[in-house]
Amino acid sequence: MPLTVPLRLIGRLILAVLAVVGLAGLFLALIVLTDGARGGLAAWLTAFGAGVTAALWRGRGRAWPGRLWPFAVYHYPPAAGASRHPTPLLYLHGGPVRSTSVLDHRFLRVLAGQGYDVYAYEQPGGGRSDLLPMEQYTISRSVRDLAAFIDRLDKGPVDVLGFSAGAVVLTRALATADVAVHVHRAIIAEPGPMDGPTALISGQQGRPSARGLAPAPTGPRATRVPRYAVALGLIQLGLLPPDTGLITQAEGVNAFKAADLGSDTASAYCAQDAGRIPAEDTAENFSFSVAASLRIMQTIKDSPSIASELKRSRTPAMLMIAECSSQVRQWETAILAADPAIERTQYMPGVGHHMWNGLDDNNERAAAVITAFLQGEPSPLRNYPTRADISAFLRDHR
């Protein structure tokens, strides 16, 4: 459910009103004390200076780019009767610039049912969150937004579960010291490439997925409308910039449909599940910005290696890898090799990229390994692959 106005925001509004009243009172007092000298200029300048000083003091320690853009935020409080866990759990969805899927919402409710105080936000340009100017869609901005959200939540360090593109944001946050201190424990699930050098790796994936096997999805598609198809296709080929004038950003977001992602969706499931892939989204919740997503992905490709920064990470972390993953295996093992704070790796059998998909007991199995890690308890699965296993893991095409 979306968050209602938090008490902290109400408190800030009260402080703002008091500040305005206080400055007005200061101005009137100065008018009286200076007898309105020079048309009240002395009073005006003094009151203005006091206001600027107060504003700067209030905003100390927060860089302007890190302030929150209007986000759609979802909160699933611990279920009644469940043993409440003290550390909030924040979910970073995949995409990167899309809505939180229906399957994700259902999984977050499973975690809340086990006593976790779960939060999720949709990144700018995706879902119900406001659009950004196109040039502001960058991976660095995504990391700053994560830090700003944790700061605004004001509950201390939080546990973070990052999935797919969200796992990339989390990985880069762990390599950024002033952001990593706000992460209590990190779960890196099915990550994409973490930086430019990693993005150059191609080839090996997991066991066969349902791509090419699943029935074609039904419903409207933006890619069947000539203008949209041409624009989106040329953007993907790099022949048009993401901020092309052929279609506006909002138009591109609204035009793109869930059926346009049919092949991508199928690649997130094992081959044996090709005939029973669940609907991940509805017409009411689906949103995906191809242009903004491609721009963020390009900023990752253009970024230098973060391996040396990641090697200094001290945040306890867990890596989750799906058996039928459509992600390049070296994208995942590169993080395992670089981050010394990864305490365990969980190779999830029988699932594809979207590990919590509601099929069989997949949600419960994913929740079990996540809960075990967050609580520092033994996992139901063995720690595999370890760093020492990476070469054999890749050689055996696991």
131 within 8 A of 125, measured Cβ to Cβ: yes
Model pTM greater than 0.85?
no
pLDDT at 9: 46
342 within 8 A of 336, measured Cβ to Cβ: yes
Query: What DSSP letter does each residue of 287-320 carry, written as one string?
Result: -B-HHHHHHHHHHHHTSPP-HHHHTT--S-EEEE
Residue 56 has pLDDT above 60, yes or no: no
pLDDT at 198: 97
Residue 265 has pLDDT above 90, yes or no: yes
- Match domain 68-207+302-395 to its CATH number in 3.40.50.1820, 3.90.1170.50, 3.40.50.150, 3.40.50.720: 3.40.50.1820
Q: Which residue shows structure tokens 């008490």?
A: 7
The domain spans of the chain are 7-60, 68-207+302-395, 222-299
Residue 370 has pLDDT above 70, yes or no: yes
210 within 8 A of 352, measured Cβ to Cβ: yes
Percentage of residues of the chain with pLDDT beyond 70:
83
pLDDT tens by residue, 280-306: 998 888 999 989 999 999 999 999 999
187 within 8 A of 161, measured Cβ to Cβ: yes
Q: What is the mean pLDDT of the chain?
A: 87
pLDDT at 244: 84
Residue 17 has pLDDT above 70, yes or no: no
pLDDT tens by residue, 27-46: 567 566 666 566 656 656 66
180 within 8 A of 145, measured Cβ to Cβ: no
pLDDT tens by residue, 184-223: 999 999 999 999 999 999 878 899 999 999 998 888 888 8
206 within 8 A of 398, measured Cβ to Cβ: yes
Q: CB-based burial of residue 271 (10 Å sphere; 0-12 exposed, 13-18 middle, 19+ buried)?
A: middle
Residue 4 has pLDDT above 90, yes or no: no
Distance separating the N- and C-terminal Cα atoms of the chain: 38
Query: Rounded to the nearest 5 degrees, what angle is found at the Cα of 143, between the Cα atoms of 141 and 145?
Result: 70
